[in-house]
Structure 1
Amino acid sequence: MKFNQLVVAGLLCSSASLANAASGNSEFVVEDIRVEGLQRVALGAALTYIPVQKGDEVNSFRITQLIRSLYSSTHFENIQVLRDGNTLVIKVSERPTISNIIFDGNDDIKDEQLQESLDGSNIRVGEPLDKTVLTSIENGLKDFFYSIGKYNADVTAIITPLPRNRVDLKLLFEEGDAADIKQINIVGNELFSDQELLEDFELQFNTAWYDFLSETRYQQQTLQGDMETLTNFYMDRGYLRFNVDSTQVAMTPEKDGIYISLNVTEGEQYTISEVELVGEMLGHENYIERVLPLTPGELYNQAEVTYTEEFISKYLGRFGYAYPTVTTVPEINDEDKTVKLTLRVDPGKRIYVRRINFNGNTITADEVLRQNVVQMEGTWLSNDMLESSKNAMSRLTYMEEVEFETVRIPGKDDQVDVQFKVKEQPSGSFNAGISYGDQTKLGLQAGIQQDNFLGTGKRIGVNVSTVSYQKSAQLSYTDPFFTIDGISLGGTVAFSEFDGSSFNVIQYNSKRWSVGANIGYPIDEFNRINFGLTYSDVELSNRGYYEQTNRFYSQFTDDQNPDAPISYTSLQSSVAWSRSTLNR
């Protein structure tokens, strides 16, 4: 903000001086307007920023407004306003156009991140270059490197002029090495040792050479996180008055080492004297009180307080109160070192779902995803149902990621839209194989499986194989949501031929046709029972005589033609139970 104020102040000063030069502190009526110096900017575009027309009477104030307006177009870096008789002459110097942007020497920041940052300052290829913002960009990038411990870093913007008022912009980075943490001191701790307190710190020092995962490079944000970790360590053990009094970060003269000192006041332990629930609990007071982990007489524990607030919020969310406010108010008694905790609960309004939308599904139809959503439109919002819906969609083999958010409806304080954002992944698989053996000879196998056929969520599979002793083919189909209740229906059709003599077993040939169907019933979110029934028609021919198989053959052999092929049918049934509690 300070930078913008300086620029505006500079423009106002230059505008006033130019206005005086143009008008000589006298008013005149403009008979003509002439703009000189235009190259890339069309005359018509420039005139749209000139708030003066022929026949207007101008003075120093009007000319100041004119200069401001032209500068606001961001096309010009220098403007002069002159008077030639009653002709208003405007001489401009256009800002050069950025032809190319080059990043050199940047390791910690990717080119895409840098370009995104430049876009925010309107620095991009094809746009006019505002040189006044380059300094702030350089300083902003230096501040970033300082925040990650690179105090020797430097950023320089190099502008290379090109023909036709174009320039190349190059950002040259000299990052240097990051400053390593030489030592972290905690001053004022008497109850716990430095080693015990620093154990959970993300920032480390004096680590072993083989510990590649330790973070010894100083980063300001990481230090803030470690200070919060230190505070939680004490607060979870009852030290309610613990405080980090001050922090000192000292740098070595070479700017390659950092010494950190944390001055703390530990205080004393506090016990819970009383826990009181205040507010509207919607008739669930008894249940909430029974499951609360906060117990009078025990040490104060900040983690349990946070858990309690989150538990009550989530519990009320089951009944449609999606935005409850749960606040813990401590009443500290420093004399007997006790604290009374008052939990103030405001459930807010019951929230209803207006609409459920899906984003990111370019292949899968919305209705396929909606089949897995147990949260209904028009009913009150349930966090449990949304999580169950998310898990159900995440278990689909063609979904890589599933997230959701609730969006409040403007003007409606009791309605939300649920936005599911999904990321699809390939839903099909293909396999093929080739083999060769001395006795089996050449073997071929191929198969294709599609779990989301044409985006319908239905599964289709085809498998074929052939080898010297056997040929087989199978077609399968399953509709996971044959009914809206989640009942699945599927079927298979298969054919196979087998030559036993080629497989070095007893001599016989067989042909088998089979048709199967299966139906599945969901018991609950995690359990499912499936019933299957398969009908097969089998033909046996070219049989050899073996005592072991003669009894079986005799049931089907025609006494008039004992060598004729025999046929029989079979009907097989199956029952299966499956349970899955996976969340993806």
Structure 2
Amino acid sequence: MTPNRLALALAALFAVQPVFADEPFVVKDIRVEGIQRTEAGTVFSYLPVKVGEVMTDEKTAAAIKALYATGFFKDVRLEARDGVVIVTVEERPSIAKITLNGIKEFSEDDLKNGLKQTGLAEGRVLDRALLDKAEQELQRQYFNRGRYAVEIKSTLTPLERNRVAVQFDVVEGDSARIRQINIVGNKAFKEKELLNQFTSTTPGWLTWYTKNDQYSKSRLGGDIEALRSFYLNRGYLEFNVDSTQVSISPDKQGIYITVNVTEGPQYKVSDVKLAGQMLVPEAELQKLVTVKPGEVFERDRLTETTKKIADRLGNDGYAFANVNAVPELDKDKSTVAFTLFVDPGRRVYVNRVNVTGNTKTRDEVVRREIRQMEGAYYDAEKISRSRDRLNRLGYFNEVNIETPSVAGTTDQVDVNVGVTEKSTGNVMLGAGFSSSEGLVLSGSVSQSNVFGTGNRLSAQINSGSVNKVYSLSFTNPYYTIDGISLGYDLYRRDIDATDLDNVGDYKTSTYGAGVRFGLPVNERDFISFGLTYEQTSLTTNPSSPTIYQLFEQEFGRDNDTLRLDTSWARDTRNSYLFPTKGQLQRVAAEVGTPAGSLQYYKLSFQHQQFLPLSKRFTLMLNGEVGIGGGLSGKPLPFFKNFYAGGNSSVRGFKNGTLGPQDQNEDALGGDKRILGNAELFFPLPGLKDDQSLRMSAFVDAGATFGPNDHQGRYKDFAFDDLRYSAGIAVLWVSPLGPLKFSLAQPLVSKSGDKEEMFQFTLGNTF
């Protein structure tokens, strides 16, 4: 060390040494010098001595140490003059402004919030150590986005009043992409099949949106767990991930991942036994066991079994029931036996039901769907049912229900219902194009949660040249506390089919007003009744189908109907838009009563089933039948016919065109209809976790039957007359409403059918 540097070091050392007499003394006064922003009281609060007390070397050292520890000062000196302690400090500069240059990947506010977590923020004291920590935090943020080539440089600019401006200049560089993922040690399964379990992937056609080709440590951890689940669900109980290597290319643009695994043997289940305090008949619990001897072990089935048993005990109030599966491996035979130890725990009841997250929706709207009551024993089934009912409302993006223990008790829990609200006001649009009608636009404005009351209000306008609809509807789903609903409808509907090339010519203008009641029979069944009065004005012309002209001649142009509607529905689906399990059954009847000039009936039945095939695949089976006819010797009005074809029935055919036709091959509809759909839903490739978008492959079948065709023949039901189609579809819950489009190829068609491969609907079908 040079003499000059040694002198500077010694000067710095002595600068922080207290300058006192050898003997302790009584403090007469304390003065603070050098402060600009810090209050003198702050300095006094850190001194271990007060006026009138004795000052010693130990207290002096403690005072200096305490003042340095505040981080406010970069130099501290204590001196004594005639019993007066003089504290001289040199403050660290404060941060007046933080500037981030070159930021594109993040918002500046997000990065500043991250820096604040490290202690670096405007208004705080500058610490060089914190500045280094802040650079590391910025670097970490970019590394999490796969930008390993990022360069960060900080600059300090002194300002007046002992302040500084901190500037970070960032060169973000390009994101590093995963160039290759290798799995080493696999024998039972091909590497491609295993990589399908990963969310991380090499660049593809959608990775510009998903960012799944950017390396993330947490994402890779999730992929490793998915790989482990894949093997455990196929009997490989001793599967192990030995190591994971992640390397980056010299240019920091490519990531290479290698996962080394040991598969081990495949195990089969040899026996499953129940033990412990079961509290319910063992035979009842045995029915819940889905793991069967002789089958290859599947971890998901074992998890499902333990959950079902715990839930069954939960239905009787045992909220903390625990079921432990203890395996016994026979490595020689590659078999495993399980003993399920049941510990019901203490029976508990519900103290409070708390609702949070509902900033717009009123508390009572949420609470009236909750089936778990305060003061009652905990019931897992009722809590699950409450979650399903809240999801089916369509008011919330997410519904979470937690049941924490009440502090200080052993037999009480709270039910905390947390909801994340979404916009319940929708603007629905529909669009279509044909050579005869051109562009047709329709729309509606609806609010399904008016002022947070749970009431529904909607107005619909269809401005098409063929279909004009003006309607206003209001529904109060809880007109009574028991859940009886009340609704009103007011509408005008004009149909002008004279310019269409696929439907027989006619015009109708209908005015209607009605009232509806809904009665919940139980948690799953719902009955509705409605009474509507309609006035219909009918117009035909010489080119209209003969049966249309005959109807007008017999019944005149103006008719009225007092229509009675009733239906029964059972809905056990777990979601309104994207159900993965459950079913919908519906029986409906529409009757034109003798109080009006049009007397008829229409009956329909629908059964829809959702079957979860796996976490990602759901099979939907749908069947519908309908039949109608006249009453009191009168025919079914042709404008009340059933129709088939289109995006909501048999895709690949134009809307309403399947069935009897007139001499111009225009669709007449029918008094009978049958529809069948089989649809496999799955995530859009590359968007596995997106909850608003999914894809499907489908097969549709259906047609209408009934009125005499142009040759005077009655087209009764025949399987040979069914049309079939197959294709793919995409459903997206967009901000404007559900968007559904399909690409379908007719498999079986008839002469005169109007095919249409591409179809789409934005919003509800009007």
Aligned to 1:583: 575
Give the letter for the 1:344 counterpart: F
Give unpaired runs (5+ residues) of structure 1: 1-13, 432-444, 466-471, 497-509, 539-547, 554-567
C-alpha spacing 1:583/1:270, structure 2 compared with 1 (3 Å): closer
d(CA) in 2 for partners of 1:383 and 1:476? 37
1:86 aligns with 2:77: no
Deviations 1:8-43 (A, max 9, x none): xxxxxx999777433355422111111111112222
| TM-score, with length taken from structure 2 | 0.59
Aligned to 2:222: 225
The one of 90, 94, 98 aligned to 1:97: 94
1:343 aligns with 2:335: no
Report how far residue 53 of structure 1 moved: 1.6
SS of the residue corresponding to residue 390 of structure 2 reads helix
Q: Map residues 372-521 of structure 1 onto 2, 5 A cutoff.
A: 372-396=369-393, 398-427=395-424, 451-459=448-456, 478-491=475-488, 517-521=515-519
| TM-score, with length taken from structure 1 | 0.75
Deviations 1:70-90 (A, max 9, x none): 345443333222222321111
1:119 aligns with 2:104: no
Aligned to 2:502: none
Tell me if the contact between 1:16 and 1:60 (Cα under 8 Å) persists in the aligned partners: no
Q: Map residues 155-174 of structure 1 onto 2, 5 A cutoff.
A: 155-174=152-171
Give unpaired runs (5+ residues) of structure 2: 1-10, 429-441, 463-468, 494-508, 537-550, 577-766
Alpha-carbon RMSD across the aligned residues, in angstroms, is: 4.4
C-alpha spacing 1:528/1:196, structure 2 compared with 1 (3 Å): closer
Aligned to 2:694: none
The one of 524, 527, 540 aligned to 2:525: 527
Deviations 1:390-438 (A, max 9, x none): 332333355454333333321123222222233444555799xxxxxxx
1:369 aligns with 2:366: yes
d(CA) in 2 for partners of 1:177 and 1:229? 29
Deviations 1:194-246 (A, max 9, x none): 344334333344x6678756844433333333333333333333222222223
C-alpha spacing 1:172/1:384, structure 2 compared with 1 (3 Å): farther
Q: Max radius of gyration: which structure?
A: 1
1:34 aligns with 2:9: no
C-alpha spacing 1:582/1:572, structure 2 compared with 1 (3 Å): same
Tell me if the contact between 1:15 and 1:68 (Cα under 8 Å) persists in the aligned partners: no
Deviations 1:367-410 (A, max 9, x none): 22222222211112233322322332333355454333333321
Tell me if the contact between 1:16 and 1:64 (Cα under 8 Å) persists in the aligned partners: no
Aligned to 1:507: none
Report how far residue 274 of structure 1 moved: 1.9
d(CA) in 2 for partners of 1:208 and 1:53? 71
C-alpha spacing 1:158/1:184, structure 2 compared with 1 (3 Å): same
SS of the residue corresponding to residue 527 of structure 2 reads strand
Report how far residue 61 of structure 1 moved: 2.0
Report how far residue 286 of structure 1 moved: 1.6
Report how far residue 92 of structure 1 moved: 1.6
The one of 320, 323, 326 aligned to 1:323: 320
Give the letter for the 2:353 counterpart: I
Deviations 1:330-358 (A, max 9, x none): 22222332222222222222332211122
Deviations 1:144-196 (A, max 9, x none): 54465544333333322221222222233333334444444433334444344
Range moving further from structure 2, 139-148 or 305-314: 139-148
Question: Which has the larger helix fraction?
Answer: 1
Give the letter for the 2:297 counterpart: Y
Report how far residue 55 of structure 1 moved: 0.9
Report how far residue 486 of structure 1 moved: 0.7
Report how far residue 572 of structure 1 moved: 5.3
Aligned to 1:237: 234
Tell me if the contact between 1:204 and 1:214 (Cα under 8 Å) persists in the aligned partners: no
The one of 197, 200, 215 aligned to 2:197: 200
Report how far residue 473 of structure 1 moved: 10
SS of the residue corresponding to residue 287 of structure 2 reads helix
SS of the residue corresponding to residue 51 of structure 1 reads coil
d(CA) in 1 for partners of 2:276 and 2:13? 63
C-alpha spacing 1:20/1:244, structure 2 compared with 1 (3 Å): same
Q: Map residues 245-264 of structure 1 onto 2, 5 A cutoff.
A: 245-264=242-261
1:279 aligns with 2:307: no
SS of the residue corresponding to residue 333 of structure 2 reads coil
C-alpha spacing 1:303/1:374, structure 2 compared with 1 (3 Å): closer
Aligned to 2:55: 58
d(CA) in 2 for partners of 1:165 and 1:243? 59
d(CA) in 1 for partners of 2:133 and 2:418? 37
C-alpha spacing 1:385/1:259, structure 2 compared with 1 (3 Å): same
C-alpha spacing 1:144/1:365, structure 2 compared with 1 (3 Å): closer
d(CA) in 2 for partners of 1:482 and 1:406? 31
Say which structure, 1 or 2, has more relative contact order (CA 8 Å, 6+ apart).
Answer: 1
d(CA) in 2 for partners of 1:308 and 1:550? 68
Tell me if the contact between 1:25 and 1:59 (Cα under 8 Å) persists in the aligned partners: no
Give the letter for the 1:408 counterpart: S
Tell me if the contact between 1:19 and 1:63 (Cα under 8 Å) persists in the aligned partners: no
Tell me if the contact between 1:101 and 1:125 (Cα under 8 Å) persists in the aligned partners: yes
d(CA) in 2 for partners of 1:426 and 1:201? 33
SS of the residue corresponding to residue 373 of structure 2 reads coil
C-alpha spacing 1:141/1:28, structure 2 compared with 1 (3 Å): same
Tell me if the contact between 2:16 and 2:75 (Cα under 8 Å) persists in the aligned partners: no
Aligned to 1:505: none
Give the letter for the 1:524 counterpart: N
Tell me if the contact between 1:185 and 1:262 (Cα under 8 Å) persists in the aligned partners: yes
Quote the sequence identity (%): 37
SS of the residue corresponding to residue 386 of structure 1 reads helix
C-alpha spacing 1:452/1:222, structure 2 compared with 1 (3 Å): closer
SS of the residue corresponding to residue 100 of structure 2 reads strand
d(CA) in 2 for partners of 1:493 and 1:269? 66
d(CA) in 2 for partners of 1:461 and 1:209? 40
